[in-house]
Amino acid sequence: MKFTRILYPFFMFSLIVCTISSCKNPMDVEGDHNEKIDPEPTFIVAPYADDGDGTHYLNGITKRWEIDGKQYSAIGGIIVDTSQKIHRISLNGQFAPKLEITKSIYGKDSVLQPNRKDLSAFLQIINFKFDSLALSETDQVVRPDFLNGSEVSFQIKRSIYRQLNGKKVLDTLSERISLKRDDLVKGIVTARFKHLPNNPILHYRYQSVLEINFSLTINLEREPLNFSEYPIRGRVRVYFNYGELSK
């Protein structure tokens, strides 16, 4: 019994040491214990749907425009970065509102376009680029100086006046415009990347949307010092998922 009492402390100490040495940090890997598993790298996903609507000014009338799910195009996919606590996305793409077709009972149907008799501020394309846009439940203002890594511009066909034989005549001009052109366009553009309530039919942990809102006024001058404002407003959305779940 005396011999056993002497060995018992050594036996318990050896047991504790073995137990501790057999435990691993879940972030450790085999081999060098200073090596850690890297955070999940960035990856690319493809959008599965899009929509949008708004108004613009066409031939003297406020007209509705819409995105019907076929007008979104992108340069590459949506880059998702989940390596930090706040997820971020980067993408470069554009929307083109659906063309409005005018029916004719006498001839061929045609696409409705600005004429040269009435004033127009006609939205043709919405271009956007986002670099590391953070997940947020509030709208983030897209600044025209691009300091926050976001840029949105618009291809707009607008009425202008040209000099012809000493007179001003109404014409149209299509050009790419952003809020940097504060002599021509005023307004606000916002963007938001957010997670949606999960639909159990979709087997993804993060069901998400990028939403862009804008409200613009365009300078359509009748006289050099007369600033006439015609609204271009709207909202477009791109839907995408990531974090696929096992079925």
Please report, for the chain, the start and end positions of each structural domain, with discontinuous segments joined by +: 40-244
Residue of 119, 120, 102 lying closest to 111 (CA atoms)? 102
Averaged pLDDT, 173-178? 93
Q: Identify the pLDDT of residue 16.
A: 43
H/E stretch holding 17: helix 2-22
Q: Identify the pLDDT of residue 197.
A: 95
pLDDT tier at 105 (50, 70, 90 boundaries)? low
Predicted TM-score (pTM) of this structure: 0.78
> What percent of the chain is modeled with pLDDT above 90?
48
DSSP 234: E
DSSP 193: E
Average pLDDT, the chain: 81
pLDDT score of 21 more than 50: no
Residue of 216, 176, 175 lying closest to 57 (CA atoms)? 216
Q: Identify the pLDDT of residue 108.
A: 75
Q: Identify the pLDDT of residue 4.
A: 45
* Alpha-carbon span 109 to 117, nearest angstrom: 21
pLDDT score of 15 more than 90: no
